[in-house]
Amino acid sequence: MHGIAYWELPTLNVKRAKDFYGKVFGWTFQDFMKDYTMFTPPGGGMSGGIMKVKAIPKKPAVQVYIEVSDIDKKLAEIKKARGKVLKTKTLISPEMGSWAQFADNQGVVLFLWQRA
């Protein structure tokens, strides 16, 4: 297989990250080690990990897109959970869909994807 099998998010505070992603995306968590937690999205999908780091990278090395059904609604939830909208909903094409960029409540930069 050549698809993405797993992905990780850096965080300064694992508890804050779990609270943010649990509220905004409904992820569930399983603590694996002291500074590492695995997460699973509701209904399945690609799982990943949240790892404690000493500093958040200023630019994302890999652009990770989280698929949502309504970008505008999700951006509102992100703001409410003290995240920051970096790029509002942008249409790629009517056939493909739209994207947006956000930072979580600790500055980790990720993207949203909404299929057409």
> pTM value?
0.83
Report the pLDDT value the prediction gives residue 3, as an integer from 0 to 100: 59
3-class DSSP state for residue 28?
strand
- The pLDDT tens digits of the residues spanning 60-94 come to 677 889 999 999 999 999 999 999 999 999 998 89
Domains of the chain, CATH where assigned: 7-115 (3.10.180.10)
Report the pLDDT value the prediction gives residue 75, as an integer from 0 to 100: 98
Report the pLDDT value the prediction gives residue 60, as an integer from 0 to 100: 67
- The pLDDT tens digits of the residues spanning 23-64 come to 999 999 999 888 899 999 998 888 899 999 999 887 767 788
